[in-house]
Chains A and B, each alone.
Chain A
Amino acid sequence: MHVFLLGVSHQTAPIDVREQLDFSSRDVGTAVETLAARYSAGEAVVLSTCNRSEIYVASDDPARARSELIEFLGSYHNLPADAFEGHVFVRTDEEASRHLFRVAAGLDSLVVGEPQILGQVKDAFQVAAARQCVGPVLTRLFHTSFGVGKRVRSETGLGEGAISVGFAAVALARKIFGRLDGRGVLVVGAGEISTLTAQHLRSQGVGDIVITSRTAAHADALAAEVNGRAIPWGDLRGALAAADIVITATGSPRPILTRADVETVSGRRRGEPLFIIDIAVPRDVDAAVGEIEQVFLYNVDDLQAVVQENLSRRSSEIGRAESIVSEEVERFAAWRRSRGAVPTVVALRQRFEQIRRAELQRLESKLGALTPEARASVDEVTRLIVEKLLLAPTAQLKALPDQETQIAYTEAVNRLFELRDDTPLTPADEALDTERPNRTRS
């Protein structure tokens, strides 16, 4: 059984193609069901985000899977194949698993290391699992990818450090104040970044958000957006005394807060720190304010520098993340190889069991004289002998290092024990595949 992947992503397709091939979350379930039912793939997962649409299937015949999936995409989205075929990429087996693991780790994201993608990969798997559209191969593949995502986050710095000005400001505020619960925020001047930063702060549980602007209507609009309170421009200095975090973003050509302004209120603040985020250009806060003890002043350039540093630190972690991915790709490949031996192992066990039963049958007349307990013992002993004889060959077959050796060994075993390939699998035989995780998880 092979893992086959076909998809488009921000790396291979422009936005208009991605939009056309997007599976909105309502459609993903039906898409997965159609795939699993109609095509040779019994297992299918569709991962669809704004940056990618990818179909993962378990297939015996990757060459056929490609044409089937192209046809499916075309008919599902009502598109001629040549409208998108040039933009799709395909991966099989190890390369498919590497791709998914890199996606889950955030290595394939537009913003490297962003954390949302892992949740999206989990959701995509859940949708398929809830519809019984995944089996052992994709279950193993996706569960491994969740592990890769977690490992990369905990063992590398790939997802660390804020990479937008708003988040960098919030991260700094947390480093100064610890928890932001109940902290007072003053927003001076309404703009895009100040709105975003205020929203981030709101989500961190800050207390009062007070907004003032020279244009009262702007202040009112922002207050409504971030669940804050607008105050008149004239009350700015009064509000400064109560604030722990100040965001300034006015269009004023001259500083609106001077050292004297802030020093006047410092006395009332009793040594509590004050964090001022000045995102206005030209600056709203006199640079000398930053010299006051317990005042931390960051302007937009300072925050940009923090973001840049975080970005470069993230890229320095890519190598470590890639090696975790490679490790897990190798582990998944080893598991997949061990699965190649499963039919032979099953056939071998059935053969031995057949012989055991046949011999017990043949001795039926002699065993007839025994008490039921003694007969049960004979049955148990013969069963145990068979089990023990098969223990080592089973383990050896599952642990073969590569596909060539595996073919040679299974061929030899088939010949030596005159096994037929078409031996039907029973539920008990399926249970042999002990390494397999739960079939579904809902």
Chain B
Amino acid sequence: MTIVPLLLYLVSGVAYAVHFARRDAGVGRIATTALLVAALAHTFAIGMQTMELHHIPLASLPTAVSTFGWLLTLSYLYLEITTEERTMGVFILPIVIGLQTISVLSPGVEQSDSVFDSPWFWVHVVSLLCAYASFALAGVLGLTYMLQFKEIKKKHLGYLYERLPSLLTLDTMNSRAMTVGWVFLTVGLTVGIIWTAQARALAPDDPNLQAMSLDDPKIFFAVLTWVVYSFALFARTRLGWTGRRAAWLAAVGFAIILLNFLPIGYFVETSHTFQ
């Protein structure tokens, strides 16, 4: 089921790349249309899984990765439609395709655990995925900002200079994506903390619940992410850290998220590994 969206994402990714290289508006429209169709197909797939499981497919890493890719696509489409700026697609689609490929190659079984019965669990997971999708956008915007900043500052106006939106546009979009992401991250973490405390009282024997502390790598990195983004927002408003500094923070923050989400999620046994 998830292979169809993956193929559509690939088509769209190729079209975005051709659009970026040739700056052909027609190909750009094809790219957007393909991405819209891919997002619809993906929505349909997730909807089917939801009906089957009676909950959103998030309770195994591959399904969570796929849902993350879906949210990233939706947030990118929102950005593209509201700003009429298509050049970011070529940077976003590889991430979406990568996530979807991981999800297709490692089909996981949806876990069932008593903790999933709580609605707080879903608020926690969905908020964090929304936050990660926003931060992924912010990271890509930050990266492109830095590349273009370098070209203008060093006076080597080249390939990217001709294609990317203005520095201020990238910076504004970056700031918005980071703010939205920070709100979701804060909600997700807060709900996680409150709900852990409640769940511990109800199920004092659950080893996962007992292991949830800052010593746990997943929780540690999530809190570190929150610290990085909180600092980025503080520095922007109070210290005037806009532009390249903000772009750096966005890129570093997203690197931590990817590290936490994929290698740690897949290979490290944490309190968030449900069996």
A-B CB pair tally, cutoff 8 Å: 53
A26 contacts partner chain B, Cβ-Cβ < 8 Å? no
A293 engages B166 (CB within 8 Å) = no
- Which residues 236-273 of B have a CB within 8 angstroms of A? 236, 240-245
- CB-CB under 8 A from A177, the residues of chain B are 166-168
Interface stretch (choices B37-45, B92-100, B113-121, B153-161): B153-161
- CB-CB under 8 A from A271, the residues of chain B are 236, 240-243, 245
A293 engages B244 (CB within 8 Å) = yes
A191 contacts partner chain B, Cβ-Cβ < 8 Å? no
Nearest chain A residue, comparing its CB with the CB of B22:
A155
- Which residues 220-235 of B have a CB within 8 angstroms of A? none
B165 engages A296 (CB within 8 Å) = no
Q: Which of B155, B165, B167, B168 contacts A298 (CB 8 A)?
A: B155
In Å, the complex CA distance between A364 and B205 comes to: 109
A296 engages B245 (CB within 8 Å) = no
In Å, the complex CA distance between A160 and B148 comes to: 18
B245 engages A293 (CB within 8 Å) = yes
A281 contacts partner chain B, Cβ-Cβ < 8 Å? no
A340 contacts partner chain B, Cβ-Cβ < 8 Å? no
Mostly, the B contact residues are helix
Shortest Cβ gap from A308 to chain B (Å): 11
Shortest Cβ gap from B229 to chain A (Å): 17
Shortest Cβ gap from B68 to chain A (Å): 30
- Chain B: number of interface residues, binned into ranges: 20 to 34
Interface size on A, residues (CB 8 A): 24
Q: Which of A155, A172, A273, A290 contacts B168 (CB 8 A)?
A: A273
A269 contacts partner chain B, Cβ-Cβ < 8 Å? yes
Nearest chain B residue, comparing its CB with the CB of A178:
B166
B168 engages A293 (CB within 8 Å) = no
B240 engages A176 (CB within 8 Å) = no
In Å, the complex CA distance between A306 and B157 comes to: 8
- Contact bitstring B125-166, A, C-beta under 8 A = 1, else 0: 000000000000000000000001000110101000110011
Residues of A whose CB lies within 8 Å of any CB of B are 154-155, 160, 172, 174-178, 267, 269-273, 290, 293-294, 296, 298, 302, 305-306, 309
Residues of B whose CB lies within 8 Å of any CB of A are 24-25, 148, 152-153, 155, 157, 161-162, 165-169, 236, 240-245
The 8 closest A-B pairs by CB, nearest first: A271-B242, A271-B240, A178-B166, A270-B240, A178-B169, A178-B168, A177-B168, A302-B155
Pairs A–B under 8 Å by Cβ, sample size 21: A154-B24, A160-B162, A172-B152, A172-B157, A175-B166, A176-B168, A177-B167, A177-B168, A178-B168, A267-B240, A270-B242, A271-B236, A271-B241, A271-B243, A272-B242, A273-B168, A273-B243, A290-B153, A294-B243, A298-B155, A306-B155
